[in-house]
Structure 1
């Protein structure tokens, strides 16, 4: 029999670890003195102790180590641990690359100007998104709504009279709504396009506008806040807005080519 200190020296496990493994039923000593509580290990437990240490050094979870000590399967436990480590490493590599891309894109200058705009009628339709799972909505969802609205406006001889835009607003029960809008030449009745669509007018206003053009080969990670939005809020920090109850950020894409386009983000700073 080996005293706990001797067993620790042979296996490389600390006395503290051995006590913990006993408490968790991972590696139970062969004998425990009833009066002193002193632990003793059998010579045949050395192999299990060495394997337990090797598995723990590799990060194998304690329950899996206990299963190996009880029934074997050390190679399988290591293979499973390696698979999980490689998955985590790949996920971390992607997160690191995305973070580098965000920092790099935000470092590029974005043009921000003020401009005056006349009142603009529009027809819109909202897509409700769970605020806890904003990534559940894709660009394809918005494009489908915009395409349907476009065809209905064309069929009704109501334009559209310009480029679409999207904006966000609070929905019901904590949801967020992505509102897809097309400009129209005249005001339209709400009932014209059914219950899902609605009409409105963006009033005559002064806008603060940020325009971003991508550099060659640059892409934004999925879910990243757009650099034009960040630049717009940087500018708003130095441009107080008085008299507006809500801050509606309108975003549109200028140009139809993947190689030549710009993203424009605007917010009203003064109504006329």
Structure 2
């Protein structure tokens, strides 16, 4: 028999770990002195102790060790842990590649241009987006549902969209104001501003939970830029679908802030379709004050 210190030294496990394994029923000592509580281990337990140490070294959780005969379960426990490690490594590699791409995008000069834009009527509906993190797929589905319902309503009234949709950030009267909710306005450009009771501002767009907000963008000066910039292959670079804040946003807002205070409600994002029918790029624009 070996004392707990000797067994710990022989297996590479700590005395504290052996005490924990005893409590969890993972590796119980062969004998416990009823008076002193001193634990002793048999030589036959050395193999089990060494296998436990190996599994813990590769990160097998204690919860998976409890209730198992380590010698019988070793191969399966190790295989599952190795699969987890490989999945973690793939995730880490993807995160590292995304970090490199983000750095390259944020350090690539992007031309911000200025233009005079004519008045533009639009049909729109405002979605409330909770401040808590939303599943991007759920939000994309909600936006898609709003845009589809708007399109069908406009088409039925012989006032179909005249160009690509845009999204703006903030709802009517809420631009730049802090609060528990954020707003996303989904817009289609049209030839004439929708009117009548069917388009009353603030009424719900059937089945979407969004509130109607038709209007007209006035004549305005805009700062704008497009992504991907000239010379960047969107398909090869993955530029058509950046994760997180858009890489062009920083350049645009820096240019805006050099001229005036930023009002998020004046920011618009237009998505363009590629030749294959998928996203081909985006344009970010900002309506300047005055």
TM-score of the alignment, normalized to the shorter chain, above 0.5: yes
**Residues 141 and 219 of structure 1: is their aligned pair in 2 closer, same or farther, counting only changes over 3 Å?**
farther
Gapped runs of 5+ residues in structure 2?
Answer: 206-211
Is residue 250 from structure 1 mapped to residue 268 from structure 2 by the alignment?
Answer: yes
Is residue 241 from structure 1 mapped to residue 247 from structure 2 by the alignment?
Answer: no
Q: Take 2:196 and 2:254, find their aligned partners in 1: how far apart are those partners?
A: 36
**Residues 29 and 262 of structure 1: is their aligned pair in 2 closer, same or farther, counting only changes over 3 Å?**
closer
Contact 1:120 1:202 in 2 (8 A): yes
Contact 2:26 2:68 in 1 (8 A): no
Q: Take 2:3 and 2:89, find their aligned partners in 1: how far apart are those partners?
A: 41
Contact 1:29 1:40 in 2 (8 A): yes
Contact 2:168 2:265 in 1 (8 A): no
Which of these residues, 182, 204, 209, is aligned with residue 188 of structure 2? 182
Task: Judging by fraction of residues, say which structure has more strand.
Answer: 1
SS in 1 for 2:112: strand
Q: Which residue of 2 aligns with 1:4?
A: 4
Q: Which residue of 2 aligns with 1:263?
A: 282
Deviation at 1:169, TM superposition (A): 2.5
Q: Which residue of 2 aligns with 1:60?
A: 60
CA RMSD of aligned residues (A): 3.2
State the TM-score, normalizing by the size of structure 2: 0.76
Q: Take 2:71 and 2:221, find their aligned partners in 1: how far apart are those partners?
A: 74
Number of equivalenced pairs: 268
Deviations 1:46-75 (A, max 9, x none): 222122112112211112223334784121
SS in 2 for 1:83: helix
Q: Take 1:92 and 1:177, find their aligned partners in 2: how far apart are those partners?
A: 33
Q: Take 2:120 and 2:149, find their aligned partners in 1: how far apart are those partners?
A: 20
Q: Take 1:265 and 1:83, find their aligned partners in 2: how far apart are those partners?
A: 42
SS in 2 for 1:90: helix
Is residue 205 from structure 1 mapped to residue 220 from structure 2 by the alignment?
Answer: yes
**Residues 241 and 34 of structure 1: is their aligned pair in 2 closer, same or farther, counting only changes over 3 Å?**
same
Deviation at 1:135, TM superposition (A): 0.6
Q: Which residue of 2 aligns with 1:49?
A: 49
Q: Take 1:71 and 1:110, find their aligned partners in 2: how far apart are those partners?
A: 60
Gapped runs of 5+ residues in structure 1?
Answer: none
Deviation at 1:10, TM superposition (A): 2.5
**Residues 153 and 256 of structure 1: is their aligned pair in 2 closer, same or farther, counting only changes over 3 Å?**
farther
Range with bigger deviation, 253-262 or 82-91: 253-262
SS in 1 for 2:237: coil
Q: Take 1:25 and 1:255, find their aligned partners in 2: how far apart are those partners?
A: 61
Q: Take 1:60 and 1:179, find their aligned partners in 2: how far apart are those partners?
A: 48
Deviation at 1:144, TM superposition (A): 5.7
Q: Which residue of 2 aligns with 1:94?
A: 94
**Residues 30 and 230 of structure 1: is their aligned pair in 2 closer, same or farther, counting only changes over 3 Å?**
same
